[in-house]
Amino acid sequence: MGFTADWLSLREPADLAARNADLLARAAACVPADAVVLDLGSGTGSTARAFAAMGHDALRWRFLDNDATLLAVARQTHPGAECVQGDLGAVEDLPLQGVGLVTASALLDLMPLPWVAALAGRLRAAAIPFYGALSYDGHMGWTPAHGEDAAVTARFNAHQRGNKGIGAALGPDSGAQSARVFAAEGFEVTLADSPWVIGPDQAALHAALLEGIAAAATEAGHATADVWLAARRASVAQSQAEIGHSDLLALPPS
Ligand SMILES: C[S@@+](CC[C@H](N)C(=O)[O-])C[C@H]1O[C@@H](n2cnc3c(N)ncnc32)[C@H](O)[C@@H]1O
Ligand 1 site, residue 240, Cβ cutoff 6 A: no
CATH number of 5-139+168-198+246-251: 3.40.50.150
**74 C-alpha to ligand 1 centroid (Å):** 12
In ligand 1, which atom is closest to the CA atom of 86? Answer: 21
- pLDDT string in tens for the chain (254-residue length): 579 999 999 999 999 999 999 999 999 999 999 999 999 999 999 999 999 999 999 999 999 999 999 999 999 999 999 999 999 999 999 999 999 999 999 999 999 999 999 999 999 999 999 999 999 999 999 999 999 999 999 999 999 999 999 999 999 999 999 999 999 999 999 999 999 999 999 999 999 999 999 999 999 999 999 999 999 999 999 999 999 999 999 999 98
Per-residue pLDDT, 214: 98
Phi, psi of 97, deg, nearest 5: -65, 125
Ligand 1 site, residue 160, Cβ cutoff 6 A: no
In ligand 1, which atom is closest to the CA atom of 87? Answer: 20
**189 C-alpha to ligand 1 centroid (Å):** 23
Ligand 1 site, residue 47, Cβ cutoff 6 A: yes
**148 C-alpha to ligand 1 centroid (Å):** 30
* Straight-line distance from the first to the last Cα atom of the chain, in angstroms, rounded to the nearest whole number: 38
Per-residue pLDDT, 1: 52
> Domain boundaries in the chain?
5-139+168-198+246-251
**SS3 state at 242:** strand
Q: Whose CA is nearest to atom 24 of ligand 1?
A: 41
Residue 241 CB neighbour total at 10 angstroms: 23
Residues 6+ apart with CB under 8 A from 147: none
Per-residue pLDDT, 67: 98
- Cα distance between residue 154 and residue 168, in whole Å: 17
Per-residue pLDDT, 254: 84
Residue 126 CB neighbour total at 10 angstroms: 13
Ligand 1 site, residue 121, Cβ cutoff 6 A: no
Per-residue pLDDT, 190: 98
**166 C-alpha to ligand 1 centroid (Å):** 12
**238 C-alpha to ligand 1 centroid (Å):** 32
**SS3 state at 204:** helix
